[in-house]
Amino acid sequence: MNIKSICCIGAGYVGGPTMAVIAQKNPDIKVTVVDLNAQRIADWNHTDLKKLPIYEPGLDEVVAEARGRNLFFSTEVDKAIDAAELIFISVNTPTKNYGAGKGMAADLKYVELCARQIAKVATSDKIVVEKSTLPVKTAEAIQNILDHTGNGVDFQILSNPEFLAEGTAMRDLAVPDRVLIGGDSSSSKGQQAIQALVDIYSSWVPKENILTTNVWSSELSKLTANAFLAQRVSSINALSELCEATGADVQEVAKAIGMDSRIGPKFLQASVGFGGSCFQKDILNLVYIAKSLGLDEVADYWHHVILMNNHQRDRFAKNIIKTLYSTVNGKTIAFLGWAFKKDTNDTRESAAIYVADLLMDEQATIKVFDPKVTATQMQADLNYLNTRPEDENATYLKTERDPYAALEGAHALAVLTEWDEFKTYDWQRIYNKMQKPAFVFDGRNVLDRAALETIGFIYKGIGS
């Protein structure tokens, strides 16, 4: 099966970059990314590539190469669905905040809406690919919806989870560790569908890096990959508290255990906690699946990865309060960073949001600088927590477009994102601008402690 037209429903952090690379590597395939959000599509079509809706190093170059040639962004969803032979579903699957499974299960309403829209519009056979992170057996639900349209169209459902790390997504797409494709290999049409997607990726990915499994294994692999990575972060953060209590240095401990070839050094950087759209959501999804199957011990095990992460964020905020003489009322705390990690403007589940919320509960003023996150987004993040009125959030949270302005007059600085540029600042100038004593709470362990203490800062790192 030679695919000539692809549609991707969802122009977010996964759909946009993934389709851009697929279009770049397959110039003979028309790739159309559709979304009902007209402003998002307008941003993807913006003539200034620096104003794309997503910041990801290298993304602008790939979009510049393919957009208008065989990569298109549109709000004409039905037209793109009808024309496509292969359709990616790449919509948001947030954690449910209502009903059964509230706080743990994935909310699949957008996925179901996509399936119903495809069923309504399609007049020819389609391959439908799950790209969103979904719980096991979602493909079965999609297949059920599509198979009962009554219009005689054949639908083949594949699972093709993404394994992208924000900040390195373009490299992850260009040189992936693996591409995972799950499908029904028991039928000839299923085999053809799997091979069609294999052929698309084979244009740049070595075939030995393309794995094919059944659908259920593919869906579960995504959840467990993120759970294992998050587990490492929570494990080293648990040890960071032990290090602080005993006088050990968590960075030295991490280096020592990371040199063990059985363990390796990745995801052993102690910090204020993990964030992003995947880790917490996927672990909670895994917990819900385990609970629904009566596997309570399994559910409790994975749930504690989340509890440890929440504890680390709370502990960081409480340490700031305790160090500042047990009160931050009327004091100014400067934040460097709001994004959940460097090289992205994504703030979903960022530790900064929760630390700011806790400090604002104590009536501290927060002044924030982040090189890529807008003031509007920061306010929206706090408003989404809904722990205080929106006007109160606006009163206590101030944003600056210059880091030195954010730090002027601050009683303490908290580093919440590991942007490389923070290491290059004139720290003597910053020290001169701050209230004395000047405290640094390095939640990402990115700054040079010895150099800061030489200037006069009181340095508080994680696990040291």
Tell me: the pLDDT tens digits for 260-281?
999 999 999 999 999 998 899 8
Q: How far apart are the first and last CA of the chain?
A: 58
Q: Which of 7, 25, 278, 331 is catalytic?
A: 278
Q: Residues 267, 341: contact at Cβ < 8 Å?
A: no
pLDDT band of residue 134 (cuts 50, 70, 90) is low
Q: Please state the length of the chain.
A: 464
Exactly one of 56, 162, 244, 418 is catalytic; name it: 162
Q: Are strands 412-415 and 365-369 parallel, antiparallel or unpaired?
A: unpaired
Task: Decide if 79 is catalytic.
Answer: no
Q: Is the pLDDT of residue 163 over 60?
A: yes
CA atoms within 13 A on the CB side of 450: 0
Distances (CA, A) of 417 to 27, 275, 301, 345, 447: 37, 11, 28, 11, 11
Q: Is the pLDDT of residue 104 over 80?
A: no
Stretch 415-419: mean pLDDT: 98
- Candidate list 222, 331, 342, 367, residue with the active-site label: 222
Q: Is 162 a catalytic residue?
A: yes
In this predicted structure, what is the pLDDT of residue 95? 75
What distance in Å separates the CA atoms of residue 190 and residue 182, rounded to the nearest whole number?
Answer: 10
Check pLDDT > 70 for residue 294. Answer: yes
What is the predicted pLDDT for the residue at 137? 64
Query: Which band of pLDDT confidence, cut at 50, 70 and 90, is reported for residue 105?
Result: low
pLDDT of residue 243: 96
Residue of 407 and 289 predicted with greater confidence: 407
Look at residue 139 and tell me whether its pLDDT is greater than 80: no
What pLDDT does 135 receive? 57
Q: Which of 277, 358, 347 is nearest to 315 (CA)?
A: 358
Give the per-residue pLDDT at 94.
Answer: 72
Rounded to whole angstroms, what are the CA distances from 321 to 180, 261, 326, 331?
46, 40, 5, 10
- Model confidence at 57, in pLDDT bands (50, 70, 90)? very high
**For the segment 194-224, what is each residue's pLDDT rounded down to a tens digit?**
999 999 999 999 999 999 999 888 888 988 9
pLDDT at residue 147 above 60?
Answer: yes
Active site residue 222: yes
Give CA–CA dist 390/392, Å, rounded: 5
Q: Are 327 and 321 in contact (CB under 8 A)?
A: yes
Burial of residue 83, with CB atoms counted within 10 A of its CB: 0-12 exposed, 13-18 middle, 19 or more buried: middle
What DSSP string runs through 293-325?
Answer: TT-HHHHHHHHHHHHHHHHHHHHHHHHHHHHTT
What is the percent of the chain with per-residue pLDDT over 90, rounded to a whole number? Answer: 83
Per-residue pLDDT at 112 exceeds 90: no
Q: What would the mean pLDDT of 350-365 be, rounded to a whole number?
A: 97
Among 11-25, 83-97, 376-390, 418-432, name the one with the lowest average pLDDT.
83-97
* 136 or 45, higher pLDDT: 45
- Report, as an integer, the average pLDDT of 136-156: 77
